[in-house]
Amino acid sequence: MRIGIIAHLKYPIAEPFAGGLEMHTHLLARSLRDRGHAVTIFASSRSEPGLGLEAICSETAISTVGTAEAPDVAFFKEHHAYLSLMSELRHRRFDVIHNNSLHYIPVTMADSLPMPMVTTLHTPPFCWLESGIRLCRARNSAFVAVSNAVGTLWNHVLPADSVIMNGIDLDRFSFHPVPDAEAYLVWYGRIVPEKGLHLAIAAAKQVGLPLRIAGPILDEVYFRVQIAPHLGVDAIHVGHLAHGELAKLVAGARAFMCTPLWEEPYGLVVAEALACGVPVAAFARGAIPDILDDSCGVLAVPDDVDSLARSTLAALSLDRRACRRRAEQVCDAGRMIDAYEALYRRLVVGGDARLRLVGKTREDLLPPALTQQSKTVMEAPLHG
């Protein structure tokens, strides 16, 4: 099939990934190309050329104007880039468009396209995307949630009865049956307030093991005020690592700490840690309780440092082989790609796309999630 993928524009779709959305989009494009599809990805200019890149602007997280003007410049830059793209796509020959952008323009203009469009919902509702979806009148549009938790949060806009679960390339996160001789905990991800790194640092001190931190600093004020003063021998920021270095760091840890302060849409970092054989201690938020079971992780009361410390201590005794098995059971990207291919084919041959959330979760993947529901319309971060 000829598949066009619309990426978001804040960061490039290239390694080292700024976050889970970049990784997911890269994996989707690469996997579809590996299966013989003709894939074109519409993304920012420093994205990986080998994905079939057609750059539509430079990444909008980088601005040459003053701080006060930067958000407005990014808004209009993205608006015009997507507007131009959607106008152009009316004359392009694609079988299906996959919208991974989180932007309102592609969904509001979907009815102008001659081909069907799939939109993946990667976050809880936020005002711009929710408004765009409410305005969408395209009968050949389908909306997919990345987890049961995300589907539940969108239920007031779309019927959240099924999902296509996210996944990871298990071959890129090799299993390590034994951790490094030097005992340490690991936390990695975007260093922003909603990821809760400051709580992981506090809990790690209670556990009595050093914490190694990896990831890009995307909120300088948060890092300077709440993180930097607590760095030292017991908490070390090793930087934003390339994939090989990151996989090695994670695989050597005794446990991985996951501390979201929002309803985590999926938690790719949890899947990656499990694939390496690393037990997980995590706040029970969003989709994380769907990924973890008692064999591979211990859930903590959200936002509770003492509970997280106890969960981390308990996770240290879990079987690393059981962690890898869990990743193989519920986190394999092959299942995700199978489901998207089946959806594309159904839409291309004229299947009914009016059933908004599509792609039944396979019985061997995950049971229905019992997650905390939130109907708050908020401006969610762009990545999982």
Is 42 exposed, middle or buried, given 0-12, 13-18 or 19+ CB atoms closer than 10 A? buried
Beta-carbon contacts of 297 under 8 Å, excluding residues fewer than 6 positions away, are 270, 274, 279, 280, 281, 282, 291, 315, 318, 323
Residues 284 and 258: their CA atoms lie apart, in Å, by 9
- What's the pLDDT score for residue 125? 87
The pLDDT, as a whole number, for residue 35 is: 98
Name the least confident of 57-66, 83-92, 315-324, 332-341.
57-66
What dihedral angle (degrees, nearest 10) is formed by the CA atoms of 32, 34, 36, 42? 40
Question: Which residue shows structure tokens 């779309």?
Answer: 158
pLDDT in tens, 148-194: 999 988 888 876 446 899 999 999 999 999 999 999 999 999 999 99
Strands of the sheet containing 280-283, edge to edge, are 235-239, 211-214, 185-188, 255-258, 280-283, 297-300
State pLDDT tens for residues 242-279.
Answer: 999 999 999 999 999 999 999 999 999 999 999 999 99
Whole-model pTM?
0.84
- For 308-314, the CB contacts below 8 A with 24+ separation are 308/199, 308/200, 308/203, 308/257, 308/259, 308/281, 308/283, 309/203, 309/204, 309/206, 309/207, 311/281, 311/282, 312/185, 312/203, 312/204, 312/207, 312/255, 312/257, 312/281, 313/207, 314/281
366 contacts: CB under 8 Å, gap ≥ 6: 148, 165, 290, 291, 330
Residue 350 has a pLDDT of: 79
| pLDDT value, residue 322 | 99
User: Which whole number is the average pLDDT over 225-234?
Assistant: 98
Identify the structural domains of the chain with CATH numbers, from first to last: 2-167+333-348 (3.40.50.2000), 170-329 (3.40.50.2000)
Tell me how far the alpha carbon of residue 178 is from its chain's centroid: 28
